[in-house]
Amino acid sequence: MTPPRPGALAGVSVIEFGDAVSAPFCARLLADYGADVVKVERIATGDVARTWGPFPGDTPHPEKSGLFFFCNTNKRSVALDVTTADGQAVLRGLLRRADVFVENQRPADMRAWGLDYGTLAPECPDLVMVSITPFGQTGPCADWHAYDLNAYHFTATGSRYCGHAGRAPLEHGTFSADFFGGYVATAWALGALYGRAAVGGQHLDVSSAEAIAALFTGAQNIGAYAQEGRFERRGGSGMSLVAPARILPCRDGFAWVIALEPAQWDGLRAAMGDPDWAAPEIFRNLFERGRNADIIYTMLERWTLSLTKQEVMDRCQAHGCPTTAVYNIGELVRHPHLAARGQIIELEHPILGTVPVFGAPIRLPDCPGGAVAPAPLLGEHTREVLGTLGGLDEATIDRLTAQGVAAP
Amino acid sequence: MSAPASLPLAGIRVANFGWSWVGPVAGQTLAFLGAEVYKIESRARIDINRTLPPFAEGIASPDRSLQNHAGWAGNGSVTLNLRDARGQDLARRLVAHCDVVLENFGPGVMRRLHLGYDDLVRVRPDVVYVSMPAAGLDGPLSGVRTYGTSLCSIAGLDSITGYDASGPVTMENAFADPLGGIVGAVGALLALFHRRRTGRGQHVEYSQQEGVLQLMGPALMDLALTGREATPIGNRHPLGVGAPHGLFPCAGEDRWISIAVLTDDEWRGLVRAMGSPAWSADASLHTAAGRRAAIDEIHDQLARWTRDLDDLALADELQRHGVAAAPVLNVADLLHHPHYRARGTFIEVRHPLGFTETIYGAYVKASRTVPDVRPGPAMGQDNERVLEGLLGLTDDEYAHLVEAGVIH
């Protein structure tokens, strides 16, 4: 679907062969900013997200999956049987005319289908192919079967930073590695495409696990571990040496209470009404407060529990203390800030009706992005795309649909 | 690594006023893609990330923070005191030679330094100016004060991270920072595409809240389609699809394995790998719905089975049976695991000051354009090249500005 104004990526043609989150999210970001994105789906079942939901009434239906909707707005859908030679030929025909190919299939499957970069490169020398898998295209785990959970915990992020000592490390509660990998892939795909005239097409091998392992947990720990031979693990409660820096309970939820610099601590004291317990001069030092964390948090909690999280946030912020409320999804959807910024968008879908999505995450005033069209029905644009981008005549398309290679 | 003749962003120059972690990662992303990036900083206000221990060889210095170097690699450094009007003037003169400006201060800070978009567009009319504030440049929350670690509270992510609905568990570092640096780089690249087509620059805005908000997409759809408000779910599938889906303890201190079963095939593989224990034969477990209903019992049984097994060997064994399973790595494992070693995820580099350190390399493997990753910058390492070579200061002028504390 072409947005109503030229986006930053107007004229860029993208083919996506993705499932679930990582590749679909990457291609959706490209679509958000005006690229023409054609999503190739397996003919019988489509993107696996179509089976994951969430569904209205928890009743599965391939056109009613919320996750599919969220990751696939602004795209067209072509349904193909890529396990057949004819289906593979059709997809390769699309790729010969494309600028970018985003996929997250298992490397062994892509090789079996003749859709790996080595096979594609001779006929698509200018193609920027982006593969986003849990472990990447090389290395001993490349062909492992894995989901977001497996990739995320291969990064040491839960081990180091999330969860209580002695209990299991934690994922974020979403498809954290898939989203992160999708963002990383988008940045590198755009870079490779921008310089394509000078350097030619190429293959970008993105491992979601490696991206987080490097950029997040490795960045902050690997230099220290390599030098000192020691490493740390999760503690479960925020920063351990200083205080306050912890999520604390309020009357109606939680707030992230943080005050490190002296001015922030003074702000927190003022927000609390300058209680005597916080008055000692020694407490103006963040490490001294860390050593007295028990009393600091005990007294702070009495205060936070007497207020709503928004009251705690507002009073702290008014006094220069960077405390924030832990918003849940309902509060975010209703939040005046996101409303004022156009971050909650409603789209019409022929089967789901009105569906909300978030706005595009980057604001470009001269070429705005965002969702304008709903996610496509499975194979909705097969005939149209094969006839235009695919360069196939009606008779050929009829034959392919009759043989079950392409959606009717 | 050998540098190819040309990286995709060769010829793009970036003035990076970003600080802490978000801004440097945005600059690094563009640098790994070939841009020439200079972080503008100063001893008048040393970046906090330069002050974090441990230090190389235990010698405390802003040029030796091991935590800092990985995330900053790729950026150069020019030290200008931006509190001095002459420092601001030199910064503006540098921007006249740049394609992209990056910054992640709060709203208004750059304007007060006379380095706002309106100031810089006068010296560089087609400048791509990327601001990366916590919650955007406008809207009721635009003035919010946060730390990277607590930013996920106002983006909702904290509200779904934890063991169960009783409350959130803190991610003990700033996940939003490297993620935001990547998204900020996406913003710069999108605007470069737009500039290439139209000749126009623009003021790009990346609200860090909105980048993380995308990870709440599954929760948004759950709320919209089922009315459920997401709460912490431990390591369970974000949409409740998989069962079993979690971490299970293995032999050794804090060793765990991740196992995710979404399909019947995967379940049968798991049962075979366990040696078909009696409990797994229960007919109710043959369907995904039955397994979801019995997820607690399945998890208990699995934990009893894995408890005495080696996580690495067990992951190999489960993979042979087609089960999505992987070891849960800790920080040390990142450096030693054969998969990351094979991919060269972490590299040892020699710092110009004479020490060696371990940082991450190119975490995306590009088939044609492999960056030559060097250590994070020493303060002011590029002063002479930029201020004399590019801006044309004479030796006398340069020496005078050093003496006056402007080049600082």
**Tens-place pLDDT, residues A371-405:** 999 999 999 999 999 999 999 999 999 999 999 99
Asked if residue A224 belongs to a domain, the reply is no
Q: Closest Cα to residue B184, out of B91, B100, B250? A: B100
At residue A390, φ and ψ (nearest 5 deg) are: -80, -20
pLDDT band at A1 (very low <50, low <70, confident <90, very high): very low
pLDDT of residue A175: 98
Closest by Cβ to B194, choosing from A56, A150, A367:
A367
pLDDT of residue B52: 86
pLDDT of residue A236: 84
Strand-pair partners of B131: B103, B205
Token pair for residue B25?
């990662």
**Model pLDDT for residues A7-57, shown as the tens digit of each residue:** 999 999 999 999 999 999 999 999 999 999 999 999 989 999 999 999 999
Mark which residues 341-370 of A lie under 8 Å from B by CB: 341, 343, 352, 355-359, 361-367, 369
| Contact residues on chain A for B313, CB-CB shorter than 8 A | none
Q: What percent of chain A has pLDDT over 70?
A: 99
Q: Does residue A289 share a domain with residue A140?
A: no
Mutate to test the interface with A, among B138, B157, B216 (most CBs of A within 10 A): B216
Asked if residue A211 belongs to a domain, the reply is yes
Number of domains in chain A: 2
| Contact residues on chain A for B219, CB-CB shorter than 8 A | 174, 329
pLDDT of residue A357: 97
Q: Does residue A147 share a domain with residue A44?
A: yes
B188-219 burial code (b ≥16 CB/10 A, e <16): bbbbbbbbeeeeebbbbbbbbbbbbbbbbbbb
Q: Does residue A118 share a domain with residue A267?
A: no
Query: Do the Cβ atoms of B262 and B256 come closer than 8 Å?
Result: no
Q: Strand runs (DSSP E) across A259-358, as ranges?
A: 324-325, 344-349, 353-358
Q: Closest Cα to residue A99, out of A131, A128, A74? A: A128
| Contact residues on chain B for A53, CB-CB shorter than 8 A | 225, 239, 241
Q: Does residue A382 share a domain with residue A257?
A: no
Q: Does residue A273 share a domain with residue A205?
A: no
The answer to whether the Cβ–Cβ distance between B215 and A179 falls below 8 Å is yes
**Model pLDDT for residues A201-210, shown as the tens digit of each residue:** 999 999 999 9
Asked if residue A183 belongs to a domain, the reply is yes
Q: How far is the C-alpha of B146 from the C-alpha of B182, rounded, in Å?
A: 19
Sign of CA dihedral A368, B186, A65, A326: negative
Query: Do the Cβ atoms of B144 and B154 come closer than 8 Å?
Result: yes
Asked if residue A50 belongs to a domain, the reply is yes
Could you tell me which chain A residue has the CA closest to the CA of B49? Answer: A220
Q: What percent of chain A has pLDDT over 90?
A: 96
Q: How far is the C-alpha of B270 from the C-alpha of B321, rounded, in Å?
A: 7
A347-357 burial code (b ≥16 CB/10 A, e <16): bebeebeebbb
Asked if residue A284 belongs to a domain, the reply is yes
Q: How far is the C-alpha of A237 from the C-alpha of A231, rounded, in Å?
A: 18
Q: Does residue A31 share a domain with residue A114?
A: yes
Whichever domain contains A65, its CATH number is 3.40.50.10540
Task: Give the pairing type, strands B100-103 and B13-16.
Answer: parallel
DSSP output for A122-153? TT-TT-EEEEEESS-SSSTTTT----HHHHHT
Query: Do the Cβ atoms of B7 and B369 come closer than 8 Å?
Result: yes
Q: Does residue A178 share a domain with residue A51?
A: yes
B276: left (phi over 0), alpha (psi -120 to 50) or beta: left
pLDDT of residue A6: 84
| Contact residues on chain B for A356, CB-CB shorter than 8 A | 220, 224
Q: Along the 408 residues of chain B, how does pLDDT read in single tens digits?
A: 334 458 999 999 999 999 999 999 999 999 999 999 999 999 888 998 899 889 999 999 999 998 888 999 999 999 999 999 999 999 999 999 999 999 999 889 999 999 999 999 999 999 999 999 999 999 999 999 998 889 999 999 999 999 999 999 999 999 999 999 999 999 999 999 999 999 999 999 999 999 999 999 999 999 999 999 999 999 999 999 999 999 999 999 999 999 999 999 999 999 999 999 999 999 999 999 999 999 999 999 999 999 999 999 999 999 999 999 999 999 999 999 999 999 999 999 999 899 999 999 999 999 999 999 999 999 999 999 999 999 999 999 999 999 999 998
Q: How far is the C-alpha of B15 from the C-alpha of B340, rounded, in Å?
A: 32
Asked if residue A124 belongs to a domain, the reply is yes
Residue A117, chain B, CB below 8 Å: the answer is yes
- The arithmetic mean of pLDDT across residues A58-78, rounded, is 98
The answer to whether the Cβ–Cβ distance between B189 and A194 falls below 8 Å is yes
Q: Does residue A264 share a domain with residue A145?
A: no
- The residue from A306, A330, A354 where one domain ends is A330
Q: Does residue A136 share a domain with residue A59?
A: yes
pLDDT of residue A4: 52
Domains, chain B, with CATH or none: 13-206+342-403 (3.40.50.10540), 245-249+256-327 (3.30.1540.10)
| Contact residues on chain B for A116, CB-CB shorter than 8 A | none
B324: left (phi over 0), alpha (psi -120 to 50) or beta: beta
Give the residue numbers spanning the domain of A268.
Answer: 245-330
Mutate to test the interface with B, among A159, A268, A286 (most CBs of B within 10 A): A159
- The residue from A277, A310, A330 where one domain ends is A330
Q: Does residue A163 share a domain with residue A70?
A: yes
pLDDT of residue B107: 86
Whichever domain contains A251, its CATH number is 3.30.1540.10
- The residue from A330, A364, A382 where one domain ends is A330
pLDDT of residue A32: 97
DSSP assigned state of A32: H
Q: How far is the C-alpha of B339 from the C-alpha of B153, rounded, in Å?
A: 34
Residue A241 in this model has a pLDDT that exceeds 90: no
Query: Do the Cβ atoms of B371 and B28 come closer than 8 Å?
Result: no
pLDDT of residue A243: 92
Mark which residues 143-202 of A lie under 8 Å from B by CB: 144-164, 167-176, 179-180, 183-188, 190-196, 198-200, 202
Q: Does residue A193 share a domain with residue A104?
A: yes
The answer to whether the Cβ–Cβ distance between B163 and A170 falls below 8 Å is yes
Q: Does residue A281 share a domain with residue A178?
A: no
The answer to whether the Cβ–Cβ distance between B217 and A327 falls below 8 Å is no
Strand-pair partners of A355: A347
pTM of the model: 0.98
pLDDT of residue A239: 78
Which residues are CB-contacts of B255 (< 8 A; sequence separation ≥ 6)? B249, B310, B311, B327, B328
Residue A308 in this model has a pLDDT that exceeds 90: yes
The single-letter code of the amino acid at B170 is T
Asked if residue A20 belongs to a domain, the reply is yes
| Contact residues on chain B for A205, CB-CB shorter than 8 A | 364-367
What is the separation, in whole angstroms, between the first and last Cα of chain B?
A: 33
Asked if residue A233 belongs to a domain, the reply is no
